[in-house]
Every structure is written in structure tokens, then in C-alpha cells.
Structure 1
Amino acid sequence: AVRMGTLEGMKFGHLQIAKISGGKAEFVSTVSIDEINTKGIKPAAQKKLREFDGKKFILNGVNITSSGDIFISGQDFKIDNMGDVKGRVYKDLLMFQFDKAGEFKRYYGVENTAKPAGLFGGAGGAKSFPSEFALYESPNGKDLFWNVFLVQDVDVDCSSETSTNYLAGTKTTTTTCVYTPLYQGKFGKIDLASGSISDFTTFGGKDYFLYIDLEDNGKGKDAPYFSINGGKQVVYVARQRKGGISGSERWGNSLWFGKFDPTK
């Protein structure tokens, strides 16, 4: 545990990737952290680039486009050992682009807009949950869509039950709380020629959260989307959350369906 904590806190000077094919290395490529941030790109509305700090990050996926470019996506994090809740706090969204020969091209550093936990933004809130990514390339090979499932907030649903011991003349109240991460879907569009990235668009607006069934210990339908037309298009499902105490006041009565078509 001590060694793992040390590795997670170490800052490295370079990022290295290798491609293994047919039992041999086709290339081994290394890029400095300084060069990564020099070639950093951000959405226009974001105030500043979320720089890569050279520390260990969560690997979310590796995607290869039709041209052979390699996109490595992940999420930065820190360890919070203060307060009652301890653990990882997931931070910015990262993506590194290399060409088919392993030469570094671009870095995308996107801000995590999830609600922080408390004044100092430690563990225990929305940022205690990692994001999920999916990349879709347009059929013409000109655009790449970065789909992010981001936990924006945590829904807390508490119920209390009181039992009475008539012999002892005492009452005991037990409160049980269920904490549910509220995911929102966001899309950013990357122009593969220029490398520019659009501002991220939220599915259905700020009051709709992706419908993820967490019943039956997470064994239910836990994917907030399904494919249609032979997998060429994706439909996302979100439900309205009003923020009330219970029932329709809490979640509302409407669902939102959104179709994503990478050709448009």
C-alpha cells in the first residue's frame, strides 16, 4: 500500500508508448511532459488548458482511427487523506494523440465540471467517481466525437425506521442512506485535420441525468444507451431530476431520448 501510494504521487518527466505486433516492437515512442503541454488544446469556452502534471492517471481507453492515429484517453486524480471520507478524487479529462508511427501530435486537457465535495473539494462527492469515455469516428474520417459520461452530482436518498423496546422503554431510530452517482452525457467534437475541439454539449440539458439502473447490485441495465440501425447510431436515455424530497417531486415524470449519428 505504501509503494502504491508512492507511485501514485510520483511525477514523471516523460510519457512512453510502444506498439507490439507479431511478437516484436514496431515502435517505442517517448515524449516529454513539457512538449505534451506545449501542444495542448482546450475547448474555446474553457478558461485555460488543464495541463498534464506527469503523474499516474486512470487509463480509460485506447482508440485507433482509420488513418492509424492513436488516441489514449484517461483521467487525472489525487489522493485525499483528510476528513471523514478518504480516497481518490478524480480530476481533469486527458487525451493524447499519436500518429501511426508513434510520433506525438496533440494533447487535449479538459476540465472536470463535476460538483466538488465541500469547501476544499475532497473525497466523498461527485469527483469520487471516475468518468467513462467513448470515441466515435465519423465515416468520412474527418471528425472524432469524444463522448464523456461524467458524474455531475450525487443523489442522497435517506429513510428512517424507528423500533420500540417496550420492556426497556427505549426507542431506536436507524437511518439508511443510498448514494447514487448522477451521470450526465457530454459530447465534444474534434476536427482531425486542425486538431481543434468544440465546447462540450450536455445531453438533454442540466436537469436530465443518464438513466443507469443500479438495482439488483448493479446487475440491471447499467448502460444508458442502445444501438440502432446495425450499430451505426446510438440512442441515449436520460431522466429528469427536479431535486425534491420524494416521488415525482424528486425525479419528475419525463424521459429524454437523444439519437447520436456520427455522420452528422
Structure 2
Amino acid sequence: MKPKLSLMLVFICSSVSLTAQKLSKEGTHEISKKANKGYLYEPVIDEGKNELTMTYVTKATNKKAKFETYRFDLDFNFKGMEESEQPMEKVKGYKVDKGEEYTLNSLTVETNFMGTLVLRRKIIKRKWNWFWGGYDSKISLADKLKPKTDDGEKLFYFAHTEQDELESILVIAGAKGPMTKDPMRQYKEIHVMRFDTEMNRIGDQTINFDTPQSIAGISSADNDEDANAEDDILILFAPMGGKGMKNIADPDPTNYTFVRLGYDGKIKERIAVKSKTGIFNGNMFVQTNDGVLILGATGSDDDYYNEKFTTPQPASDAREGQNDEFKAKGFQVVKISNGKVDFVTNNTLDDFEAKAKSPASQKKKPEYTGKKFRIADLKVSPNGDIFLTGQKYKKTNGPKLLGGSGGASIKYEDIIMMHFGSTGSLKAAYGVRREENDKEASMSPNSQTLVFSNDGNKLYWMIMEMAGVKTERELGESKYKFLVYPSVSVIDINNAAIGEFAQFGQGKSDYYVNNKYPFLPIGKGQLVFLGENKSGKTLWFAKMPLE
């Protein structure tokens, strides 16, 4: 009987640890008509003062703004409201040195039908907008330039990063040579160039290959206002091959190359990566404390990357832009640290099928099947496990979201989270059926956030479910408000198990989280959901422990 008792105890403990997540405290409070017609400017939690403040912009001009600040303790008891007025230079996000309006002279890229690199001057006029508390940008284009190599040859465009705040651009392009000499030169002599606002070349480094290459993935920070020289750009090159290229291609389609660039365009690292398969859509990069992770879908062993993909795939979407007939056969994880490859692990669709898991109440287990999949979040736990969450989707014919023109649109479906161990092997694939599946919800991807518990043994998986869309006015302007509420589950990291999802805010009063500030960490292993009812008149607070 002892073995049976032990098994029963294990089962009971597991069930207890995976009960649905609960809130420890909720609260509501009505705000003024002025605050409701304004917008939430800044919520702040001060643990030392045991205080939560919610500041609303109620009126704004070009010189100053009026605010209402509501104060609560961290159990959501109301402590008071103060009205205030501030000049523009003290407003969050406002650039005192730039003023209400400023102009940037930056650059962008155009290509002609031959793929030739064409630079074009981009004039950006920015003006402060109280509607959302930031600068609006109005862009106009001016003169063009076709950069050339030192020997006078034109350049073939691959990718670029627009560094608007620095008034510069970083471009990756191949050197086009005469057809009689080397028609594939543009895929072997890769230039990393930087141009200033006057289109002067202020940097040019060359990455040379013996055989033609394409770019499988690139990570950069386009148009980041906080961009600086510490931001690296990561590139994964894939050997080209296939029909008509037998005599010039790398005979091994798995010989990938990782390159790290500084934001100034200088080459920091170049490392050979031996993929497990010929096709590796390595378009997801994560920089960790001890290296870089590269993740992406894999195809057949013998095919070349360029036989299925023609351009670098966007990191937010593992499938968009690909050959629509491509169906992944697996998912690969690569880790690079200290100048070398630590591991390359490919997980097949059979692995995903065998390790598919869902909350116990779900009758079906949605699975990753290698088809279209949009990435939502990617986190690495304290023990090194890797969590990648995303959503299956398919293209359909019909109207676009929010009254857009007809034609092709996207329908979002089941949600999948991939749980890899610290060496890239799949531990589980959690599949979730969404709570909201009507037409509006299906045309928008679910926002997802991953947060670890204090001890690092649990992962809180927050999926924002969309119950509808409404139009409202803030500071006299109309805007769309998405009616979303949190659905939360807890993952037991060590045992690769998923608990039930709990929905918060939905019920008799129907509260929805703020679109800009859905939640705030409160410290001591807790976070607070910030929301309001449908009219926006009543605030809703909910404290969730991260035990």
C-alpha cells in the first residue's frame, strides 16, 4: 500500500500547487468628470510611503497642463485628491532642449527593381501631442543618393537600421560586381555602412564569405529614441544554394554564421554556427547576462534557407513574409557565449506533440504544428529555462479590424507557449483556448506577459482577452479603447506543469485594464492590475501575489 499512498500524496501536492491564481485584494473608486475626459498620465507605486498615485491630465495648452492626482494606500483605500498645474518643461517625456516642436534630418532606404541600394533624405518634424503624452512625427522625403563601393560598384540592399535620433542610418548591403567577373559578389562581399545626415559615409566594414549568403535573421532597434552606442545589432547569415547554384554554393546548407555589430556598425563578433537543419529561420534574438540566444523554426535537413525564404523575417513574427507553402518541421534553439557556440538543439514536431499540455479543464490540447505563428513574449527564467509564447493565425478574406478596407486579413487562433530547458530541449508545449473568440477578438493578437515568482520556481502567464472595442474622447479627441481583461495561469517551472486560468475584472461590473498601463509591479512579490469600468468613471484595482 505504501507505493500507492506515495503516489496519492504526489498527486495531491501537484494539484494544490496548480490551483487557479487568485487576487488578494480588490478596490474601486470613482474619478471626476474632468479626469474621465482626460487621460491617465502616470501611475506610480511608492512602497516606502505605502502609496499608489494615479495622475490624470485634465487640460493642456502649449505652455502648461492641469492635473488631478488621486492617492491611495496599497490596500486601495482612498487618501485624497490634489489638483496641480505644471509648465511643459516639467512634463514627463517632454524634451526641454528640443521644445514643443523640433526637426530631425535623418535618412531612409529605397530600392529599385534591381535591388540597388538607394538612400533618401528623411525630414522628421516632431510636435508634442497631449492626446497621448508624446511627440507626433510628420515625415517628408527629399533627395536621393545611390552609394557605391570604393571601386565604383553599386550596392545591393539587404537590411538597415534607421537611427533617427542620431540623425544617421546603418545599412547592410552587398557589393554588386560586373556579371562577367563574379555575378554572386553581392552575396559574398557584405558591407556594413553608416551614413550621416549629409549622406556622407562615416563607417564601412566588410564581412567577406567564400560562398553566397542570405540573411536569415537580424535584430536591431529602429527609430529608438533612446538608441545609443551600447545597443548591438545581431545578424544570422545562411548559406545560399539550390537550383543552378551547385558549383558555387557551400555544399553544406547547415553552415550558418552569427555576426554581432555595434550600433556604430563595427564588427564585434563573427562565429560559425552549425545548424541541425538546412533551413533555420533564426529570427529571434535574446541577449542574456551570459550570451545570446537565437530561436526559430526549422525545415528540411538538405534544403537551403533561400529556397523557402527571400528576406529576413521580422522577429515579432516567425511566419510572416515566408513562402506560404512552408510548414516548419521543428524549432531550434542556439546559444552563443564567450565567443563560441554553447549548444544547438532542434526540437521536432513529434517532440511538440508528445509534450503538449493544457489546463486540466480543457478538453482539447492546442498544439504547435509548424504553421503560421506570431511571437508575443520571450523570457529566460533564473534557472535558465526559456519560455516563448505566441499565437497561431491564418490569413482570411474579409474586412480588416476597426472598419478598415476589405481584402486579406488575419484571424488569430489558439495560444501556445514553448517551454525549453536551459540547453534548448523542449520540456513542454502549453496550448490554450482563448476565452474570447468573436470576430473582433479574432482579428487582434492577444497581448501576453510573462512574470516570474520571487523564488523563480513559478511563471505567471498573463493573457489579455479582448471583450470588445469602444470609442471614447480624451482631451477632446476620439480614440479607440480596447476592452481587455487579464486571464492568468501559473506554470510550475521545475515540473513543467500548467494550472487553470483565472479571469479577473469580468463579472457583474465588467472592469477592464488600462490599455497603456495594464499593471504595475508592487514589490514583495506582488503586482497590481489597473483598470476601470466601461465608461471609465470607476477605477478598479486588483492585487495579485506572485508567490
TM over 0.5, yes or no?
Answer: yes
Query: In structure 2, what is the Cα distance between the partners aligned to 1:142 and 1:70?
Result: 13
Give the match for residue 77 of structure 1: 393
- State the 1:156 CA deviation: 5.5
Q: Among 449, 455, 466, which residue is 1:151 paired with?
A: 466
Is 1:209 equivalent to 2:512 in the alignment?
yes
Distance 2:455 2:479 in 1: 45
Match of 1:102 in 2: 424
State the identity as a percent: 30
Aligned partners of 2:386 and 2:322: how far apart in 1?
29
Q: Which residue of 1 aligns with 2:543?
A: 259
Residue 48 of structure 1 and its aligned partner are, at CA, apart by: 0.6
Pick from 337, 343, 349 the counterpart of residue 21 of structure 1: 337
Correspondence for 1:173: none
- Shift of the 137–15 alpha-carbon distance from structure 1 to 2, 3 Å rule, reads same
Q: Given the alignment of the two structures, is residue 89 of structure 1 paired with residue 411 of structure 2, yes or no?
A: yes
Q: CA RMSD in A?
A: 2.6
User: Are 1:190 and 1:198, in contact at CA under 8 Å, matched by a contact in 2?
Assistant: yes
- Per-residue CA deviations over 1:47-100 (Å, capped at 9, x if unaligned) read 210111212311222211121111111111111124536322221111111111
Residue matched to 1:129 = 444
Deviation for aligned residue 1:8: 4.9
SS in 1 for 2:391: strand
Which of 326, 335, 338 does residue 10 from structure 1 map onto? 326
Asked which structure has the greater CA Rg, the reply is 2
> Structure 1-normalised TM-score?
0.73
State the AA in 2 paired with 1:37.
Answer: E
Question: Counterpart of 2:520?
Answer: 226
Unaligned regions of 5+ residues in structure 2, if any? 1-308, 311-319, 400-405
- Within the candidate set 194, 197, 200, 2:501 is matched to 200
Question: What is the 5 A alignment of 1:148-187?
Answer: 148-155=463-470, 179-187=480-488
Deviation at 1:106, TM superposition (A): 0.7
Counterpart of 2:493, as a letter, is L
Q: How far apart, CA to CA, are the structure 1 residues paired with 2:443 and 2:485?
A: 15
Distance 1:115 1:182 in 2: 14
Compute the displacement of 1:157 (Å).
6.7
Name the SS for the 2:351 alignment partner: helix
Give the Cα–Cα distance (whole angstroms) in 1 for the partners of residues 407 and 339 of structure 2.
45
Ranges in structure 1 where 5+ consecutive residues have no aligned partner: 118-124, 159-176, 213-221, 242-250
CA distance in 1, matches of 2:471, 2:325: 31
Q: Is the 8 A contact 1:126 1:181 kept in 2?
A: no
Would you say the 8 A contact 1:115–1:153 is kept in 2? no
**2:517–2:530 Cα contact (<8 Å) kept:** no
Residues of 1 paired with 2:517 and 2:408: CA distance?
28
* Cα separation, 1, equivalents of 2:321 and 2:337: 33
The alignment's TM-score, normalised by the length of structure 2, stands at: 0.37
Compared CA separation, residues 258 and 9, structure 1 to 2 (3 A): farther
Instruction: Say if 1:81 and 1:104 are closer, same or farther in 2 by CA, change over 3 A.
Output: same
Measured against aligned partners, the alpha-carbon deviations of 1:195-242 in whole angstroms (never above 9, x if no partner) come to 221121112224221122xxxxxxxxx12222333x84321112223x
Alpha carbons of 1:62 and 1:128: their partners in 2 closer, same or farther (altered >3 Å)?
Answer: same
Contact 1:92 1:112 in 2 (8 A): yes
Alignment partners' CA distance in 2, 1:60 and 1:252: 27
